[in-house]
């Protein structure tokens, strides 16, 4: 995986994980809230049904209150009361029923076949003795009881909430009930809606997560493309600069060879030829001329050869100078401090800018590649100072500690925008070269510049 892909992956992964954690937390809270809401709805619904049943039984009691309070217990009065109660209903499955205290069905409008039967031992599908529990609840003062009973509209057992009261004077249990399957369907509908809402929320969060990941990925790709373009521009500029540097170096070497060494060698060649001619004349003159003419020819030949030897020494000095610029022998023979001292002195002589060089500590343990890098950085820094800084004084210091060496170069020039130059694709090639050289050996490089001057620091560990 490439670096830019790793960056995008590391940017998207925490986002996806955070959104997943949020989604799980929201789902958990939504489920908890849905369950609480369901319980609240169920309690409120059942409470309303219980109040409704209680009111129904109260109305039924009031409908036969005249007969019940008359004190009559004859069969005709009781049959009239049964007729009135049997005519009362609420909905297809809402009716009243009457049992005596022995469990005999006295009235059941929706299941008349049960009238006259003793249902004391009747049990529902859960094995609960239904009539016994209803009679017990009525004898305890009345109240609610849950049980299963055949629903008239569907002819199938369904959960039912019953409410019964005791009519003690007649020995009756009067009651009614509401089937709870409607309540269950209503709660199931609420559950379905809540699940749909939770699923919709999860889908929205998933869509947001995907959109956020795409935005991050798109931004990363756009940034990579932008950085890639800048890097390509810098690389092209660097390649062009390298080519230009090579051509400049070749042109400089060509000028040095042509203007200096070549001309001196031609001059030496001519002087040697002139000396040879004079020596030939001296040999020929020894036969015809006097002794004084030979001495003159010998002195002239000696002067020619001495001048040729002097120019030959100049050629050797020029060769050493060119060789030193390519790679100073002092760096290999005497070390970094001596090479920098020689570089500072040569720069002072060539540019007429005062340079003060100081060295302290030991730099002998520094690797050869680090010595070369620090020397090239010093060369590049001095070249930039001469071309751009307009400095009046330069300080170079080399300090060696137990495990590190630091090169510090400062000048009192007018400074420059270091950050702007560093990111400009067509400028600051030398500055980037210095940075890249230090990065290659694991060193630290920094440069600060202001109108008061510029300070360059290069720090290298002995273990680099």
Q: What share of the chain is helix, strand, coil (3-state, %, to 5)?
A: 65, 15, 20
pLDDT of residue 260: 65
pLDDT at 454 over 70: yes
pLDDT at 194 over 60: yes
Q: Which of the four pLDDT bands, split at 50, 70 and 90, describes residue 222?
A: confident
pLDDT of residue 294: 65
Strand-strand pairing, 105-107 and 444-450: unpaired
Whole-number mean pLDDT of the chain?
A: 81
To which residue do tokens 């440069």 refer? Answer: 447
The residue among 171 and 384 whose pLDDT is bigger is 171
pLDDT above 70 covers a percentage of the chain that reads 82
Strand-strand pairing, 453-461 and 444-450: antiparallel
Are the beta carbons of 318 and 260 closer than 8 angstroms?
Answer: yes
pLDDT of residue 60: 92
Residue 455: name the closest of 409, 392, 399, 419 by CA.
Answer: 409
Stretch 333-354: mean pLDDT, rounded?
83
pLDDT of residue 289: 53
The residue among 334 and 259 whose pLDDT is bigger is 334
pLDDT of residue 16: 78
The top-scoring range by mean pLDDT among 222-236, 252-266, 296-310, 319-333 is 222-236
Give residue-wise pLDDT tens across range 23-78: 888 888 878 887 887 788 778 888 888 898 999 999 999 999 999 888 888 899 99
The top-scoring range by mean pLDDT among 112-126, 179-193, 312-326 is 112-126
pLDDT of residue 426: 53
Are the beta carbons of 212 and 19 closer than 8 angstroms?
Answer: yes
Strand partners, 411: 394, 454
pLDDT of residue 171: 93
Give residue-wise pLDDT tens across range 159-171: 999 999 999 999 9
Residue 24: CB atoms within 10 A of its CB come to 11
pLDDT at 134 over 90: yes
Give residue-wise pLDDT tens across range 72-129: 888 999 999 999 999 998 888 899 999 999 999 999 999 999 999 999 999 988 888 9
Give residue-wise pLDDT tens across range 400-415: 877 788 889 998 888 8
pLDDT at 320 over 70: no
Where does 327-367 have alpha helices with state H? 329-333, 336-351
> What whole-number distance in Å separates Cα of residue 281 and Cα of residue 164?
159
pLDDT above 90 covers a percentage of the chain that reads 22
> What whole-number distance in Å separates Cα of residue 239 and Cα of residue 244?
8
pLDDT of residue 148: 92
pLDDT of residue 434: 81
């Amino acid at each position: 995986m490439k670096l830019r892909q790793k960056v995008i992956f590391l940017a998207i992964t925490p986002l996806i994980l955070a959104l997943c954690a949020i989604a799980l937390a929201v789902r958990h809270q939504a489920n908890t809230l849905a369950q609480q809401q369901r319980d609240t709805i169920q309690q409120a619904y059942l409470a309303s049904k219980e109040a409704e049943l209680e009111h129904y039984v109260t109305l039924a009691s009031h409908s036969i209150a005249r007969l019940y309070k008359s004190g009559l217990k004859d069969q005709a009065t009781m049959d009239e009361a049964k007729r009135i109660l049997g005519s009362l209903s609420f909905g297809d499955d809402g009716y009243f029923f009457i049992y005596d205290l022995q469990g005999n069905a006295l009235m059941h409008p929706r299941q008349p076949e049960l009238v006259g039967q003793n249902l004391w031992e009747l049990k529902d599908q859960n094995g609960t003795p239904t009539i016994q529990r209803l009679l017990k609840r009525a004898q305890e003062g009345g109240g609610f009881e849950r049980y299963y009973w055949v629903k008239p509209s569907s002819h199938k057992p369904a959960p039912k909430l019953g409410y019964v009261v005791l009519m003690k004077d007649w020995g009756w249990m009067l009651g009614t009930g509401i089937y709870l399957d409607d309540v269950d369907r209503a709660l199931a509908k609420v559950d379905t809606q809540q699940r749909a809402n939770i699923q919709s929320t999860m889908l929205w969060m998933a869509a947001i997560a995907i959109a956020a990941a795409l935005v991050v990925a798109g931004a990363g790709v756009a940034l990579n493309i932008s950085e890639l373009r800048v890097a390509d521009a810098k690389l092209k500029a660097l390649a062009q600069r390298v080519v230009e540097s090579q051509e400049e170096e070749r042109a400089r070497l060509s000028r040095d060879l042509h203007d200096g060494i070549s001309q001196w060698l031609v001059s030496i060649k001519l002087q040697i030829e002139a000396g040879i001619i004079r020596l030939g004349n001296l040999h020929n003159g020894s036969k015809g001329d006097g002794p004084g003419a030979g001495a003159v020819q010998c002195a002239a030949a000696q002067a020619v050869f001495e001048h040729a030897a002097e120019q030959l020494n100049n050629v050797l000095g020029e060769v050493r100078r060119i060789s030193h610029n390519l790679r100073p022998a002092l760096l290999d023979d005497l070390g970094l401090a001596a090479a920098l001292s020689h570089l500072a002195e040569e720069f002072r002589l060539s540019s007429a800018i005062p340079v003060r060089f100081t060295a302290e500590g030991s730099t002998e343990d520094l690797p050869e590649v680090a010595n070369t890098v620090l020397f090239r950085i010093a060369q590049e820094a001095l070249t930039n100072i001469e071309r751009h800084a307009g400095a009046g004084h330069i300080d170079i210091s080399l300090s060696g500690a137990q495990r590190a060496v630091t090169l510090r170069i400062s000048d009192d020039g007018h400074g420059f925008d270091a950050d702007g130059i560093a990111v400009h694709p067509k400028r600051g090639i030398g500055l980037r070269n210095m940075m890249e050289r230090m990065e290659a050996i694991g060193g630290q490089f920094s440069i600060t510049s202001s109108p008061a001057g510029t300070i360059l620091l290069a720090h290298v560990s002995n273990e680099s």
